[in-house]
Amino acid sequence: MKLFFTLFKILVVLVILLFALAAFLILTKTGNNILKPYVQSYINTKVAPSHIEITEFNLDSNNTNVKVVLNDIYNLNITGKYSIFNKTLDLKYNTNTTDKEMFALDGKIAGNINTLSDINIDIDGSGYIFKSKTSYKTKILSTTSLDNTTAKITNLNTKNVFKMFNLPNYASSNIDVNVNSKSLKDINSKIELTTKINSLTPNATLIKQEYNVSLPSNFIITGGTKHAIANQLINSNLNINSSIAKINSTNITTNLKTNISKGDMRLYISDLQKLKPIINKSLNGSINIDSNFTYDKVIFVQGTSDIAKSNTNFTFKKNILELTSNNILVQNLLYTLGQKELFESNAKLDLKYNTKTSKGNYSLAMGKGNLTQSTITNKIKSYTGLDLTKNIYDNGYFHGNISNKLISIDGNISNTRNTIAISNSSIYPENKTLDASVFYAYKKDRLKVNITGNIADPKVRVDVKDLLNQGNIKDKIQAEANRFIEKNIKIDDNIKDVLKNQNINSDTVNKFLNILK
């Protein structure tokens, strides 16, 4: 935009200046050579910090031919006729760079200049910017501004923009750009800019290399943006859609002097499973995020979300995500994390996570709740006769660390009669396995359980040494053993009776439980 404005500023100054000179002088070649450095110096004062060099300067009473080089890169040529007596002009111009497909424009300048305060000139043109078809028009009504300016760029491909400025090719695109301004005087002038993103495809290979983020295949972004630019401030709103998420904002402000941005942002993901290629974790459900952000060298985000159907507050700064949810259902949290729903309760969740290192920690303080029926509780019941789902627990507290490979777990749930404690235990999300050590206490009774293997169907090993003093448990195990012998062992009935009457001890019980597994 700055380049576009500078080139047109050169056009305006040149046209008015040449017309003024011609009105008083019939210039010869010698006269042109004398005036050339003065004209060049005057234009440079108007376009600083940019710099121009006039390489050709021919002006007579009816015709002009001027060639200018901007910043040693861009060429601007003006040719045509004008009438001092009718105070009209009819000129053609073209501007380009060494790669004409990247930047090449040509058009017409026509109108009249009665006095420096009575000007009516139309400028229009078309061509290519960043290899994209471009058209524009503007009006000169004074020596200080461009009026009623419009410009349109069709099918803009961002890879050509990156190439022009020697940047890596982060994305390819098909974007339409429209620019409108009632009065362009300087960089503080008001400009309205809208974009329609027909398609934008990020460079997945480059993004993986530079940011270690894996994008899903066929990841395409569509949508649009609107920007109002004035006094070196950009006020923006956007509506962006992709195969993963929807993002929109109604008010983002960027200060071009300080490079500070702030605004609101909303994000919606209908299926968290779509994030798996990016975060390398499988999540369930959906999420809405409503946030405000500030960017001042680093980004700071503060907001709320409904993750796991909760009301969660969070902040994000310097790669650190911190969130707190004061009333989250444990069963919803486990479902979102892709884990078995083992417990039902309201809880308070606190989480701190470093998105750069993929490491963090959490704590979960639970209110009243109960274990649900699962493979684990069903196996414990079949081995011991204890139905752990019948108890209501008054409170619980769990905490642990999070990394790419595992989630560690320590804590307990309890009421006045029961306690279930988990220690030195881990869940391995990538291969969906666990290694858990569980201790159960009921009044004076004790039970140790080791749970390992696949979360969907784990191996459960029950240590029943402390239970053998309980008559009902011992009788239960004896009954289960007798049933197993009766059903599965094909031997003489007298031998079966001998086996059934064997004294139950911890070794025989564990052997029996291993057979049942």
pLDDT confidence band for 62 (50 / 70 / 90): confident
Reference 155, options 172, 171, 168, 138; nearest CA is 172
Tell me: pLDDT of 293 over 80: yes
Contact between residue 41 and residue 58 where contact means Cβ atoms under 8 Å apart:
no
Q: How many domains does the chain have?
A: 1
Average pLDDT rounded to a whole number, residues 102-116: 85
Per-residue pLDDT, 366: 95
- Residue 242 is predicted with a pLDDT of 93
* pLDDT score of 479: 65
pLDDT at 6: 66
Q: Examine the pLDDT at 418 and tell me if it is beyond 80.
A: yes
Residue 331: per-residue pLDDT: 93
Round to whole Å and give the CA distance between 237 and 181: 18
pLDDT of 473 above 60: no
Q: Has residue 478 got a pLDDT over 70?
A: no
Return the percentage of the chain with pLDDT > 90, whole number. 42
DSSP string, 402-461: E-SS-EEEEEEEE-SSEEEEEEEEEEETTTTEEEEEEEEEETTEEEEEEEEEESSS-EEE
Residue 370 predicted with pLDDT over 70: yes
> Per-residue pLDDT for 514 more than 90?
no
Residue range 385-413, pLDDT digits in tens: 788 888 899 999 999 999 988 999 999 99
pLDDT band at 517 (very low <50, low <70, confident <90, very high): very low
Tokens representing residue 255 in the block: 């200060």
Q: Average pLDDT, whole number, for the chain?
A: 84
pLDDT score at 88: 86
Query: Which domain does 451 fall in, by range?
Result: 375-516
Confidence check: pLDDT of 80 > 70 = yes
What value, to the nearest 5°, has the Cα angle with vertex 25 and ends 19 and 26? 100
Q: Is the dihedral of CA 426, 429, 430, 436 positive or negative?
A: positive
pLDDT, tens only, 212-230: 778 888 899 999 999 999 9
pLDDT at 501 over 80: no
Q: Is residue 423 part of a domain?
A: yes
Dump pLDDT digits (tens) for 6-45. 666 676 677 666 656 655 555 677 778 878 888 889 888 8
| Better-predicted residue by pLDDT, 392 or 484 | 392
Tokens 């459960």 found at: 460
**Which pLDDT band, with edges at 50, 70 and 90, does 496 fall under?**
very low
User: What gap in Å lies between CA 302 and CA 313, rounded to an integer?
Assistant: 8
User: Residue 456 has what pLDDT?
Assistant: 81
d(CA 43, CA 39): 6
Residue at 358 is within a domain: no
CA-closest candidate to residue 108, choices 11, 203, 18, 179: 11
How high is the pLDDT of residue 495?
47
Compute the distance between CA of residue 327 and CA of residue 91 in angstroms, rounded to an integer: 72
Residue 419 belongs to some domain of the structure:
yes
Assess if residue 111 is contained within a domain: no
Is 432 domain-assigned? yes
pLDDT at 498: 46
pLDDT band at 516 (very low <50, low <70, confident <90, very high): very low
Residue 349 lies in a domain: no
Is 353 inside any structural domain? no
* 192-203 confidence digits (pLDDT tens): 999 999 999 999
Q: Which residue has the tokens 């234009």?
A: 43
Please check the confidence at residue 493 and state whether its pLDDT lies above 60.
no
Q: Is residue 31 part of a domain?
A: no
Q: What is the pLDDT of residues 127-162, one digit of tens each?
A: 988 889 999 999 988 777 788 999 999 999 888 888
